[in-house]
Amino acid sequence: MDTTLQDPLVGQLLDGRYRVEARIAVGGMATVYRAVDTRLDRVLALKVMHPSLAADDSFVERFIREAKSVARLAHPNVVGVFDQGTDGSYVYLAMEYIAGCTLRDVLRERGALQPRAALDILEPVLAALGAAHRAGFVHRDMKPENVLIGDDGRVKVADFGLVRAVDTVTSTTGSVLGTVSYLAPEQIEHGTADTRADVYACGVVLYEMLTGSKPHSGGTPAQVLYKHLNEDVPAPSAAVPGLAPALDELVASATARHPQARPFDAVELLGQARTARSALDDAQLDVVPPRAQENVSTGPEERTSVIPRTLPTEQHTSRLRMPLPEEPEPAGQRRRWPMSSRRGLVGLVTAVLLVLGLGTGVWYINSGQFTQVPRLLSQPEKEARKKLDAAGLDLKGVERKFSDTVARGAVMDSDPAPGERIRTNGSVTLVLSRGPEIVKVPDLTRMPLAKARGELKDAGLAPGVVTRAFSADVPRGAVISTDPAAGTGRSPDSAVAMVVSKGAPVDMPSVTGQSVEDARSRLEGLGLKVDVAPGQVNSPAEAGKVGRQSVAVGTRLGEGERVTLTVSKGPRMISVPDVLGKERDEASRILKEAGFEVEVERPFLSFSKVIDKQSVAGGEQAPEGSRITISTKVL
């Protein structure tokens, strides 16, 4: 029995335009349907927010943010968003329809992949995320379920529902956004994520493709989160012997627990992936992994409900050099994004025409009075005029609008719309594309960052990724350069990345042991700002002197950056262990573990290893880190 028939939206016309054909997948926020855009006569995917969430403004905002974010990317490896709207209690996105399956389906059926196939999937994924990162967005929920593999071999990234701007602090209280098996440690510990969180998730996905298993498993989500925080992702070669060291290094680089040790964004990781591929020969790229039977199913911590397809399909040929199983699959067990069926679509349209009273008898009665507006979309103006004339229709007028998808001079819409009924002597207005609207990037050089962001918004552009660099010429906090450069034409709402000055570089000196006044004078003379911590610390420095500095010696700082100094209250006094009568090595170990430096004296003619003297008697107090001298017995 097809459970999609129980869905109230199936068979309905959403927003007067989108006819819902079948339910594809169900998630925590939304349900995805296959639908037909009756205006443009094309199959697409409708992502409809659950009505119970539509009353929550934060969920609606996140939903609409996905549409705007993805619409800006326009990247071949990102699932495109065509439209966004509301129909009663239904909030929806109209998206590109991908006939194929998810990477999760591939892993579930095949287990581990050959390195060549894994890299063939990873590289377009990183290209898509790289475009998002450079446009100023973070995906935050990368996992195999969100990697779609089309029947034509194309790889696309989907579900930007958790997307955020790169420079936006994203935190939660009592919960963590994302899927636990792919969360970076900083997402778990602090609830924050930048481009390096996506890099970490891609490293986990690569490990899973190479081994067929997730790197961290557990009986509960909490156990998995604990392992992400406290254990490194293991080398894939430990699970699949024969994998090249370059693949181990690639996974290790992407999944470093400290974000600063990872590639900055997906573009940098893509470069590493291509370098790793170039270092592998054919034998290393085609290592055949053992068929993995465990950990490939979707666990409770990342379960995604997917509805089996209901239309018959032809078996597709993978474009990723992966041989498909020879045995036939039992019906209903393979979960994939359904392929379109032309015969099914024709049947659906025929049924609609009959319901609307356009059956054979009615059509003949009205044949002398009505016709249909020809299909004119994407046609050049000259060709559109010819088709109107051939249909006996007049051209009422021409309007022109900007379009990012329709070629300049081609038809992007008409009134009445293509396919609508019109009297045989009626007239049609054509809407022609003016091509993409272009906005020039303003000159932001030497402008303070806050003002530069305002200038971009006023120009119709979006502030993108902000990176910082030293500059002896541009004041600290001002813009050094933009990408794209000033004067470059861009579509409205395109992101512009900025490089902001950290000021002239300053190498941090050592000021520990100096007086606070001398240290402050020296640092301020270098252009740094100095704070003194309210408390004091034990340190080897004399009481009242600088005992600790917040920035390590040799660190390169920008002019105007702050350094915190902490005053010493002298070394901590601790009790000296009694090591008399113990052997030399044991005595040294005990003293060192207690926090002292040790010097061993061997008197002349002493062949003993037993200690009979120590410079500070056991039980007495001595400064932590001070030197204790011990001597062996004289025989």
Residue spans per domain, the chain: 1-97, 101-295, 341-367, 439-501, 505-568, 573-632
Q: How confident is the prediction for the chain on average, in pLDDT?
A: 81
101-295 under CATH 3.40.50.300, yes or no: no
pLDDT (0 to 100) of residue 292: 44
* CB 247, CB 236: distance < 8 Å: yes
The tens digit of pLDDT for each residue in 563-586 reads 999 999 988 889 999 999 999 999
pTM: 0.47
Burial category of 16 from C-beta neighbours within 10 Å (exposed 0-12, middle 13-18, buried 19 and up): exposed
The tens digit of pLDDT for each residue in 79-102 reads 888 888 888 888 898 999 988 889
pLDDT (0 to 100) of residue 348: 36
* CB 441, CB 483: distance < 8 Å: no
pLDDT (0 to 100) of residue 633: 79
Distances (CA, A) of 616 to 304, 581, 619, 628, 630: 68, 15, 9, 7, 9
Give the bridge partners for 93, in sequence order: 47, 84
pLDDT (0 to 100) of residue 330: 34
Pairing of strands 621-623, 573-575: antiparallel
At the second CATH level, the architecture of 505-568 is 2-Layer Sandwich (3.30)
Q: What is the token pair recorded at 185?
A: 């440690």
pLDDT (0 to 100) of residue 635: 62
Q: How far apart are CA 176 and CA 193, in angstroms?
A: 11
How remote is the C-alpha of 545 from its chain's centroid? Answer: 47
Phi, psi of 503 (to 5 degrees): 85, 180
Which CATH number is 573-632 given? 3.30.10.20
pLDDT (0 to 100) of residue 312: 31
Q: What is the token pair recorded at 508?
A: 């941090």
Q: Name the CATH topology of 439-501.
A: Trypsin Inhibitor V; Chain A (3.30.10)
Give the bridge partners for 423, in sequence order: 370
Distances (CA, A) of 403 to 9, 428, 480: 31, 20, 33
Q: How far apart are CA 263 and CA 331, in angstroms?
A: 43
Q: How far apart are CA 151 and CA 163, in angstroms?
A: 27
Query: Do 101-295 and 573-632 show the same overall fold?
Result: no
Consecutive sets of 10 residues in the chain, 635 residues long: mean pLDDT of each? 65 93 82 92 90 76 72 83 87 89 90 94 94 86 92 85 44 49 88 90 97 90 88 94 95 94 93 93 90 44 35 32 33 34 37 35 40 86 91 90 81 86 87 83 95 90 90 92 91 88 91 95 93 91 93 89 93 91 92 92 76 91 90 77
Report long-range pairs for 402-408 (Cβ below 8 Å, ≥24 apart). 402/433, 402/434, 402/435, 402/436, 402/437, 403/433, 403/434, 403/435, 403/436, 404/74, 404/436, 404/437, 404/491, 406/377, 406/378, 406/433, 407/378, 407/433, 407/435, 408/433, 408/434, 408/435
Find the catalytic residue in 141, 151, 194, 413. 141
* CB 18, CB 38: distance < 8 Å: yes
The tens digit of pLDDT for each residue in 297-354 reads 444 444 432 323 333 333 333 333 333 333 333 333 333 333 333 333 334 333 333 3
Which CATH number is 1-97 given? 3.30.200.20
The residue type of 156 is: K
Cβ atoms within 10 Å, residue 578: 15
* CB 383, CB 391: distance < 8 Å: no
141 in active site = yes
Integer Rg of the chain from CA: 33
